[in-house]
Amino acid sequence: MDIVDIKSNLQEVELRICDACLRSGRNREDVTLIAVSKTKPIEMIKECINYGINVYGENKVQELNEKQAQLGNNLHWNFIGHLQRNKVKYIIENVELIHSVDSIKLAEAINNEAQKKNVICNILIEVNIAGEDTKYGVTPENACELVRQIAVFDHLKIKGLMCIAPYVDNPEKNRVYFVNLRELLVDIKNKNIDNVDMDVLSMGMTGDYEVAVEEGATLIRVGTGIFGARNYL
Ligand X SMILES: *Cc1c(COP(=O)(O)O)cnc(C)c1O
223 binds ligand X (CB under 6 A): yes
Q: Select from 17-25, 83-91, 147-155, 201-209 the region that touches ligand X (CB under 6 A).
A: 201-209
DSSP 146: H
Q: Is residue 32 involved in binding ligand X (CB under 6 A)? A: no
The 3-state DSSP class for residue 39 equals coil
222 lies in the site for ligand X, by CB under 6 A: yes
Using rule CB under 6 A, residue 221 touches ligand X: yes
139-178 residues near ligand X, rule: CB under 6 A:
164
Query: Per CB under 6 A, which region of 10-18, 66-74, 148-156, 219-227 contacts ligand X?
Result: 219-227
Is the CB of residue 71 less than 8 Å from the CB of residue 46?
yes
Nearer to ligand X, 140 or 225 (CB): 225
Q: Do 136 and 82 meet the contact criterion of CB atoms below 8 Å apart?
A: yes
206, 211, 214, 216: which one binds ligand X (CB under 6 A): 206
Amino acid at site 101 = V
Q: Cα(187)–Cα(176) distance, rounded to whole angstroms?
A: 16
Helix or strand holding residue 140 (H, E): helix 140-150
Q: Considering only 62-70, 116-124, 191-199, 221-229, which stretch makes contact with ligand X by CB under 6 A? A: 221-229
3-state secondary structure of 203: coil
Tell me which of 26, 38, 67, 159 binds ligand X, using CB under 6 A: 38
CA distance 179 to 218: 13
Distance of CA 232 to the CA centre of its chain: 19
The residue of the chain with the least Cβ separation from ligand X equals 223
Closer by beta carbon to ligand X, 41 or else 187 = 41
Nearer to ligand X, 39 or 115 (CB): 39
59 part of the interface to ligand X, by CB under 6 A = yes
Cβ closest to ligand X, residue 95 vs residue 205 = 205
> Which residue in 37, 34, 52, 53 sits closest to 4, CA to CA?
37
Scanning residues 73 to 92, which ones bind ligand X (CB under 6 A)? 80-81
CB 47 within 8 A of CB 73: no
Q: What is the CA radius of gyration of the chain?
A: 17
Which chain residues interact with ligand X by CB under 6 A? Answer: 36, 38, 59, 80-81, 164, 205-207, 221-225
